[in-house]
Structure 1
Amino acid sequence: MFIFLLPLLGYGFISLQLNQLLMETKGKSLGLITNPTGVDDDLVMVTDKISKYSDIKKFFSPEHGLRGEQQAGVQIKDYIDPVTGIQVISLYGSKKAPTLADLEDVDVLVYYIRDVGTRFYTYIWTMTYCMEAAQKAGIQFVVVDVPNPLGRKIEGCRNEMDAGLVGRKFGSNLGLPQRYGLTVGELATFINKEWLTNPVNLKIIPYLTNQFQWILPSPNMPTIETATVYPGFGIFEGTDLSEGRGTTHPFEIIGSPLITKPEELAKTLNARKLTSVIFRPVYFSPTFSKHKDAICGGVQIHVLDKNSFNPVLTAFVTLDEIYKVIPIKFNLMIDYESGISGFAELLKNTTAEKIYSQCQNNTKAFYDQVQRYYIY
């Protein structure tokens, strides 16, 4: 007689992956680091489903909150999740990592968040702080792996400084490129083996398909198109230019009230013949964030082929051309997100292409180093 055991969470690819998590952690208490991207095949948040089958002691929430309701930079306090009644410990407020007290009743700390493949997106750094916390607590750290929506391509500058949640740096090593080309599981393995002084007991649960529905991982990352341009155009957060927040196309629309002839800017940028991109002149008025309610001129970035598109080079050239037309005020985020100390001064004294070329030299060394950690 044959006995078939029905998987607790179903037979879909993600459900089978989550079933493996349940089997690996059977009889153990869990702490779960997740957000709205942590779902099953039916797009039900794992918080609401896995709690029926596992002993989840508490949730840990990154930037934007457990259920993704907070805007960028909003500090979050601990609270009780109204859906499950389980305590939520914020890792984007008074602390970046769980304390030993937070983990005293936890046997395994689990990370399940989809990332966007960009160094200065905060979730992967929350993961590293949690890895260190798990090591100090003497507990296992499990990553439920997810595809990198930007694929294997590696591009951009490796950060020269430690920028915490927008780009850590370990010891004398340069940090990650702006577009790092790894899954979160591969990245966790690389950091654990190469950069952490005290490695954690790490387990990766591989994904079984790279096909997935896009779920916005944060309020201003609504589509895969946004994620495609973000490794480059995210650096505009370090300027007084609008990066499109407050429009329906954040990071795809760039502009300022000082740009009065966006048609000429688009013509100039299109004349640069950058790979797989067309610039369209636009006028827009952000409903929040920089230049709220002001009429801005600028360009929208239209990507023709995301596999050959180079977001970092395209962003550097765009910023360079705008700088020739209007004055730009820079803040510290330009260094953090570009990865280069004194980026604004460098841009003033050299070309965008030269900056990019120097960055790509360091990126080649990173590619050579991380290939051994590929899982797929």
Structure 2
Amino acid sequence: MQMLRPKTFSRAGNCMRRGKKMQTVLGLDRIDEFESALRGKRIGLITNYSGVDSVWRTNVDIFTERELQIVKLFTPEHGLYGTGAGRGVEDTVYPEHGIPVTSLFGDKVRPGDGDLTGIDVLVYDIQDVGLRYYTYIYTMTYCMEAAARLHIPFLLLDRPNPLGGRIVSGGTLELKFASFIGDYGLPLRYGLTPGELGYYFIRYRNLDMDYRVIELKNYNRDCYFPDTKAVWNIPSPALPDYDTTVCYAGGCLAGATTLSDGRGTAKPFQIYGAPYIHMGEFYRELKREIQDEGILLRQRAFIPSERKYAGEVCYGVEFAPLRKDLDFIPASLILLRTAARLYPEQFALIDNETGRKHLHYLTGSEQAAGYLEGRICLEELLEEWRVQAKEFEAVTEDIRIYR
């Protein structure tokens, strides 16, 4: 199937110009260029609190000030206001403008045909993080499937992948572990923007649809968030800054074990531990095992205010990434294997609601569990994942917008 990219809106350039970093221009920032495509249309806007332009004006305000007619909003996990992870969100009404809001993370995760009645075009504008287990992309693709089924045009206002487009890592997902936290044969860290991912999904599902991307300017696949010269736009409550997001790439796996991943602290995904950890021993072993000059590590005791071990003293470690292009996945695996090796009576993998290991769904296979249990070595696992990442890069090369 041939996929046509919009020709009316110029392609992205380099994030450098004559040696000077240029601020990345968001899809939403280009409202003057694409407004005509929405004029006179009844708009369904898929967004959340991250839907702001480069000076933090909301997309809803921008659209309504220009008298573009938003008839309904759709929200992903965390809703409009940043509800905690995994908590269902109810339908509501957008304040001031009185626009009805349909939650796609509550009683349902897919829009029904009735939800899209009276909508002429769907617009998607949400900041993502480029990781397979981050659920916003499934809200996006479920809406794309509905748009294709009902022949509704789909306009995506692109945003940067804060983790860049150069690093692709983590194993590709096996279909038996497909869920709302992983699907479509994606690697854990897939290196695409939302706009590029949409092209991949169209081909993966063989969709016939009217899909257009308002592309970024001053951006390429070598741009990490610090290169965009933008203010951090919090994508979800547990990712308050870029360092946390770097460590979330792999650090989220701890949530599938009896280790705390630091949720409920000021440093989620940078702090890890449990009441049963012997802090000095754990720290020394990790210092010996993790040979990466891009990571700073220290002993850290902490008390989570919510979720796992809430109100209890946990003993563990704190990580700080020292490079913007750090791949934290290997370090996160070593973290979990070390805990499994040192504390076999207390460390365990947690089951999900289906009775299967949650880690399998986060990693996309049973291979990571094999490493944690000592059945395969780390290099064997990482080499298998590197091969899969290269295959994915080859498959997606022709749908990349940013070079």
Runs of 4+ in 1 over 6 A off after TM superposition: none
1:145 CA displacement: 0.5
Select the residue among 167, 192, 212 that pairs with 2:182: 167
Is the CA contact 2:41–2:120 (under 8 Å) kept in the aligned structure 1?
yes
Q: Secondary structure at the match of 2:255?
A: helix
1:39 matched residue in structure 2: 52
Is the CA contact 2:76–2:104 (under 8 Å) kept in the aligned structure 1?
yes
CA distance in 2, matches of 1:294, 1:57: 47
Select the residue among 186, 205, 217 that pairs with 1:196: 205
Is the CA contact 1:279–1:301 (under 8 Å) kept in the aligned structure 2?
yes
1:330 matched residue in structure 2: 349
Select the residue among 208, 215, 223 that pairs with 2:217: 208
1:19 CA displacement: 2.7
CA distance in 2, matches of 1:179, 1:275: 21
Matched, 1:181 2:227: no
Is the CA contact 2:135–2:181 (under 8 Å) kept in the aligned structure 1?
yes
Is the CA contact 2:179–2:361 (under 8 Å) kept in the aligned structure 1?
no
CA distance in 2, matches of 1:21, 1:60: 21
Q: Secondary structure at the match of 1:80?
A: strand
2:103 matched residue in structure 1: 90
User: Does the C-alpha gap of structure 1 residues 86 and 356 become closer, same or farther in structure 2, counting only changes over 3 Å?
Assistant: same
Query: Aligned runs of 1:53-64 on 2, under 5 Å?
Result: 53-64=67-78
Is the CA contact 2:132–2:186 (under 8 Å) kept in the aligned structure 1?
yes
Gaps (5+ residues) in structure 2?
A: 1-23, 220-227, 351-356
Matched, 1:253 2:271: yes
CA distance in 2, matches of 1:306, 1:30: 37
Moved more, 263-272 or 78-87: 263-272
Is the CA contact 1:155–1:180 (under 8 Å) kept in the aligned structure 2?
yes
Matched, 1:372 2:390: no
2:249 matched residue in structure 1: 231
**Structure with bigger RCO (C-alpha 8 Å, 6+ apart):** 2
Letter in 2 for 1:149: P
CA distance in 2, matches of 1:130, 1:94: 16
Is the CA contact 1:320–1:352 (under 8 Å) kept in the aligned structure 2?
no
1:215 CA displacement: 1.4
Letter in 1 for 2:232: W
CA distance in 1, matches of 2:292, 2:334: 9
1:341 matched residue in structure 2: 366
Letter in 1 for 2:339: I
CA distance in 1, matches of 2:241, 2:48: 17
Q: Output the TM-score relative to the length of structure 1.
A: 0.91
Letter in 2 for 1:31: G
CA distance in 2, matches of 1:142, 1:107: 11
2:258 matched residue in structure 1: 240
Q: Secondary structure at the match of 2:208?
A: coil
Is the CA contact 1:35–1:66 (under 8 Å) kept in the aligned structure 2?
yes
2:280 matched residue in structure 1: 263
1:267 CA displacement: 2.1
Is the CA contact 2:337–2:371 (under 8 Å) kept in the aligned structure 1?
no
1:320 matched residue in structure 2: 337
Is the CA contact 2:368–2:381 (under 8 Å) kept in the aligned structure 1?
no
Matched, 1:353 2:366: no
Moved more, 49-58 or 71-80: 49-58
Select the residue among 32, 36, 41 that pairs with 1:28: 41
1:201 CA displacement: 1.5
Is the CA contact 2:239–2:245 (under 8 Å) kept in the aligned structure 1?
yes
CA distance in 2, matches of 1:158, 1:224: 24
CA distance in 2, matches of 1:19, 1:249: 39
Matched, 1:48 2:61: yes
Deviations 1:208-243 (A, max 9, x none): 244222111111011111111112111111112100
Is the CA contact 1:115–1:184 (under 8 Å) kept in the aligned structure 2?
yes
CA distance in 2, matches of 1:159, 1:214: 29
CA distance in 2, matches of 1:34, 1:216: 13
1:136 CA displacement: 1.1
CA distance in 2, matches of 1:358, 1:186: 25
Letter in 1 for 2:74: F
Is the CA contact 1:36–1:215 (under 8 Å) kept in the aligned structure 2?
no
1:108 matched residue in structure 2: 121
Is the CA contact 2:46–2:123 (under 8 Å) kept in the aligned structure 1?
yes
Q: How many equivalent residue pairs?
A: 356
Gaps (5+ residues) in structure 1?
A: 1-11, 170-174
Letter in 1 for 2:288: A
1:164 CA displacement: 2.4
Is the CA contact 2:73–2:100 (under 8 Å) kept in the aligned structure 1?
yes
Moved more, 41-50 or 233-242: 41-50
Deviations 1:335-373 (A, max 9, x none): 111111364245211223322221111111001111111
CA distance in 1, matches of 2:311, 2:241: 24
Identity among equivalent pairs (%): 35
